[in-house]
Amino acid sequence: MAANGNQLCHRGRFDCVTKNSPRRLPIGAEVCGDNETSFRVWAPNAQRIEVALEASAEPDVERTFHPLDAEENGYFSGILPTGAGSFYRFRLNGDQHLHPDPASRAQPGGPHRASQVIDPRSFRWNDDAWPGVQLPGQVVYEMHVGTFTRAGTWAAAAEKLPELARAGISVVEMMPIADFAGEFGWGYDGVDLFAPCRLYGKPDDLRGFINSAHSLGIGVLLDVVYNHLGPEGNYLSVFSDDYFSDRYETEWGEALNFDGPRSDSVREFFLSNARYWIEEFHFDGFRFDATQSIFDRSPKHILAQLSEVARAAAGKREVVLLAENEPQDARIVRPEAEGGYGFDGLWNDDLHHTALVALSGRRHAYYTDYRGTPQEFISAVKHGFLYQGQHYRWQEKRRGYPARGISAAAFVAFLENHDQLANSSTGERVRLTSSPGRYRALSALLILAAWTPMLFQGQEFGATSPFLYFADLAGDLGQKVRAGRAKFLTQFPPFATPEVQAQLADPGARATFDRSKLDWNEHGKFPQLSALYRSLINLRRDDPIFSRRERGPIDGAVLGAQAFVLRFFDSLGEDDRLLVVNLGPGLVLEVAPEPLLAPPRHDESWETLWSSEMPKYGGPGAVPVETATGWEIPAEAAVALRPGSRLLETNV
């Protein structure tokens, strides 16, 4: 790709920017000199385009019009005498209507108002030594900026980063921030994909958040939505009829055109977007939303190309690419040489679903095909996805793809995320739907297994604030969202009753958004939960077996109706670890014909390394699990064991 005949800079720096070679990216407004800005837009729907320079982002202001030069393939470009902070819109074919830049770097007045010229070079970074992020060994933390603090800004969120660092969080996964219509929302209805949402602060505030995170050793991923755009404030079709495709359908709106007529420029738009976030904001990678709805029959899938572009944009820094994929297409994390897209990880809904069944006992809707049994947990630890091509009753078809040979770290595991909390009538936190002991036990499994664990904001200190679905959409759109949300929840029989339906939170109400904000006054209110997660994360980080980025073999065995054991093997066979998990009543094994319970040496026993029964986590007190006559496994508990003292007597 080239702009104005000049090769684009892929180095993640701006030393290639001069008046003779003004373009860092092929689209948008870029400062290229003192009081000079290069404008370039793809608009094959237009015969001529003018830039309207405006005095402010307000609707009725003075403006001057400046024509752009037509290029081949529907592009228009030019350099105008204006600098950073300027406001502008485009006028097509002399029409009276003005439109914001599809690649706007800022929308201070929202998606319907003027775009603003931003100069990223004015921010002073101090993260030159930051190496980036690799997925193995990380603890991920999903964050919604608007509800993470009461202020709901990047600046306020940055103040909490030291708390996350102390908790052991190593990667923040930021929910989408592309500017959207309204005063609050989840972010998945973004329409200005290059414009950091005005509601959370200025672009440099986002840079400051990431700069601060890196100084604390925390990486930052961005959740990006490349499968659809929001329903309000989306002006792409004004510039080109080819941004969207009628050959495919999504659940949320028109599918994007990655393989049809003029799709080269559409691909360029999204590839440039990925480069932009990494080069100009130093993001450490992405989480790609609903990749099953990113349709592409090209010889090289857009996801594979995005993987290449993101890594090239990062230069020497490592980046992490995660995907949400409802059908669990494991090919996404396979190398391109094996027919994959070269991603690093996939969200594991299977693990979440079986955990929620075990925690709550509910098996409605998409939880129907899970039982929450010990074998399901063992299989998830060993194989990642539970469904890898078997028949799935809920969807009446096969689910999943073979995942053999994929690293355990590639599976992102969680007990909570934004979707699953909101997919209830109250947005209630998981720990409030289960017994404390069972929740502690599965938290231990979540953190200590070889997959990549992810916490949802506030989970690390026991937040009680719900997380509800909220979207500030006006008029008919708002009514359709309310009706659609209520209908969606009817798949869960308890939520389909008239009483529950009448009490559902209104997604368009400001109160729904405000209720979803974290209450940081609760930080320290539940010290046992804070201690639980902090100690588990420390154990994962510091223990010589649990901390290994390339884990050794793991095996598991069912010990009872609700109990199982996992064995983490040391490569030398001398320092294995056991994790015993019991989600039911106390279990006494007077006979234990299970080889995984045998210590590495015949003259050793197992000793407790960590137990969820410790009083500092809210337990009644830890006692030895292996006794002289058998095993006594406490109820609703998890215990990690290591080889201990030599036995005084043996039968050998």
* Res 22: pLDDT: 64
pLDDT in tens, 110-131: 999 999 999 999 999 999 999 9
* Res 16: pLDDT: 39
The count of residues in the chain is 652
* Res 646: pLDDT: 54
* Res 7: pLDDT: 33
* Res 603: pLDDT: 82
Q: Write out the two tokens for 552.
A: 């050794």
Residue 100 burial by Cβ neighbours in a 10 Å radius (0-12, 13-18, 19+) = buried
For 385-413, b/e burial (b = at least 16 CB within 10 A) is bbbbeeebeeeeeebbbebeebbbbbbbb
* Res 463: pLDDT: 98
pLDDT in tens, 590-635: 999 999 999 988 888 999 999 999 999 999 999 999 988 899 999 9
Q: Torsions phi, psi of 34, nearest 5?
A: -65, 115
| Positions of the chain with pLDDT lower than 50, given as ranges | 1-19, 647-652
Strand duo 563-568 + 554-558: pairing: antiparallel
* Catalytically active residues, by annotation: 289, 324
In order of their start, the domains of the chain are: 2-122 (2.60.40.10), 140-538 (3.20.20.80), 552-646 (2.60.40.1180)
How many other CB atoms are there within 10 angstroms of residue 174's CB atom?
A: 26
Angle at 194 between CA 32 and CA 115, to 5 degrees: 70
Strand duo 75-80 + 63-67: pairing: unpaired
* Res 548: pLDDT: 84
Distance from C-alpha of 487 to C-alpha of 222, rounded to nearest angstrom: 30
* Res 602: pLDDT: 82
